[in-house]
A and B are shown apart, each in its own frame.
Chain A
Amino acid sequence: MLKFLLQRLALAVAVAICVSILTFGLLGATIDPAIAIAGEDASAEKIQALREAFGYDKPLYIQYANWFGSALQGNLGTSPYFGLDVSKLIADRLPVTMKLGALAISFAIGLGVPLGVIAAIYPNTWIDRVALSVAVLGQAIPNFWFSLLLIIVLAVQLELLPVSGASTASSYVMPMIVLGTNAVPAIMRLTRTGMLDTLQADFIRTAWAKGLRPRQVFFKHALRNALIPVVAVTTIQAAHMLGGSIVVESVFALHGLGMLAYESILRSDIPTMQAVILIFSGFFIVFSALSDIINAYLDPRIRVA
């Protein structure tokens, strides 16, 4: 198990380095940050002076080496737009995004897995159809529209929840529902298929033959096996939620990483973009490793492989 974990870790580091090189190259090739800082009507001399001041005149590989060197020491540079350390910016924004992501994925799992299990226990009945409809609806509704709908009903008309911001715990309810609903269909459908497959398995017949209660057969013996494909998709969905919450964070004015990404792109703020992209890709790396680890826990056959 330790060897398995170390291998995963080494792979994760390699992927992170590749991502940082790629983003550095792409950003450097497409954006001139000196113009962005100086403003469009600045003189050529001023732009050139800014280039030299920030080191943008050096070749890209030197810039990368400098960035990499200081990144290793925890220094991700200074944001020219915010005038703050990038690591400080991220430390401010990360908790909001993490809270939102954790809530949303819990919501999605809490709704998707039980719906999938119930649909599989009663396949092709009205229960199954209702669960399927919920899934299709969740998939089809655009985030921004669903957000506005919730705001109109829950915040404006019923006045149950605050319209936006992150001041209270209840501020997170609507963003959680919107972001979570997006992941429900995939989780529910996979759980249903996994359960239907597993319920046909010989070892389920054994479980019935032992006289186990339906609760034990469905939730212990069947669900454990059915969840293995669900884990892979759910962890990727979770990474998506952490990285792709730009729309939801903007609509509900939550100052998280998604919002920071949006702002830094608008301002051609290269150090911030670089760091945010690295963190987003870090989420994917961490969560796909997490997926492997959870599956190794669920299915002992994976541990030896």
Chain B
Amino acid sequence: MANSPSAYVVVQNLRIDIHTSSGLLHAVSNVSFQLTAGEVLCIVGESGSGKSMTALGLMGLLPAAASRSAELLSVDGRDLLTMSPEEKSDFLGNRMAMIFQEPMTSLNPCFTIGTQMEETIRRHRNVSARDAKLHAASWLEKVGIPSSAGRLEQYPHQLSGGLRQRVMIAMMLMCEPKLLIADEPTTALDVTVQAQILQLLSALQKELGLTMIFITHDLGVVSRIADRVAVMYAGEFVEYGTTRQVLKNPQHPYTQGLLKCLPVPGRTRRGAHLGTIPGSGPSLIGNLSGCCFANRCEYAAPVCLEGKLPLFVREDEHGVRCRFRPEELAPLQTVDAVPQ
């Protein structure tokens, strides 16, 4: 991928390793993408595929046992790799922010909502305590929490999960960052609340022109909000492209498998079995050779176990980490499956 000057977020060969007692775990390898300002990238994948690690790696909030390396990691023209800790803390919450999967535990139980919001704006903007309070209240209104002034005095335990996630969104956006990373922000919520939060995030993204990296395992969400999609498996992007390319013309057997797992309104018959992908992801400890999906792939051929696969770039920057084109896959089914 060439570096276009308009790129707002550039990630080149991001790699995250975690030191575990049983060896080095390659949580994320060879992740590259770039986004222009205002674009929404969805990263989809199953649990343990490295989605959250990618997000935390971008934010520089990895756990102590993890280490990050990349050829290039820049947001808004700023190099995240060479930032000093002070520059980083000036940047986070201010130019880029993140909301988390666990609204129940992501707010400090000992401080009121108001305290936690006001300290954010006062950290990055030179405002009086009074103005900070007004600002916080107006942001609570903005994320759909009415009677905001009273809410500011409340503690997190007095709010429901959905409200807490709204508070998180308000707190993280109140300094008007240009990049928002949302790590499964709706997963821990009730289904009805999920839809509301998603709608809110989508509306705010459009209103503020946010560049957004949205992590989810829900393909339905992807089709609603994403401009670009990355399908992540075993720490790698196995398919990357525009939403249309990936959802309408999936090239990787894993993406195809994921899409078969979904019911399609009007097309899936009542009582019909939905697709599943048997097996589970490979262990990421030690060096993997060959295609990381080979042990679960119905098309796997002996050649799939050899070498390290690059992201093959097909038409219009549609990247696929599979040596076969879709039309070449079908006949392969007759080849003996690779032993697991």
Interface residues of A (CB under 8 A from B): 201-203, 205-214, 216, 220-221, 224-225, 298-301, 304
Contact = CB atoms under 8 A, between A and B. Distances in A.
Contacts of B119: 210, 212, 216, 220
A209 B105 contact: no
A210 B93 contact: yes
B102 interface: yes
B117 to A, nearest CB: 9
A299 B155 CA distance: 10
Contacts of B155: 300-301
A201 B110 CA distance: 13
Nearest to B117: A210
25 contacts: A205-B61, A206-B107, A208-B61, A209-B61, A209-B93, A209-B100, A209-B172, A210-B92, A210-B93, A210-B172, A211-B88, A211-B93, A211-B120, A212-B89, A212-B93, A212-B119, A213-B89, A214-B89, A216-B119, A216-B123, A221-B108, A221-B111, A224-B108, A225-B109, A298-B110
Contact of A207 (B88, B91, B108, B109): B108
Contact of A211 (B100, B105, B124, B157): B124
B280 to A, nearest CB: 26
Contacts, number: 79
B168 interface: yes
Given A202-B100, A209-B97, 8 more contacts: A206-B100, A210-B93, A211-B92, A211-B123, A212-B119, A216-B123, A299-B110, A300-B110
A210 B100 contact: no
Nearest to A228: B110
Q: Is the interface of A mostly helix, strand, loop or mixed?
A: helix
B89 A211 contact: yes
A206 B92 CA distance: 10
Contact of A300 (B91, B94, B109, B124): B109
B164 to A, nearest CB: 11
Contacts of A221: 108, 111
Interface string B63-100: 00000000000000000000001001111111001101
B116 to A, nearest CB: 8
B59 interface: yes
B123 A203 contact: no
A98 to B, nearest CB: 31
Given A209-B97, A300-B155, A225 B59 contact: no
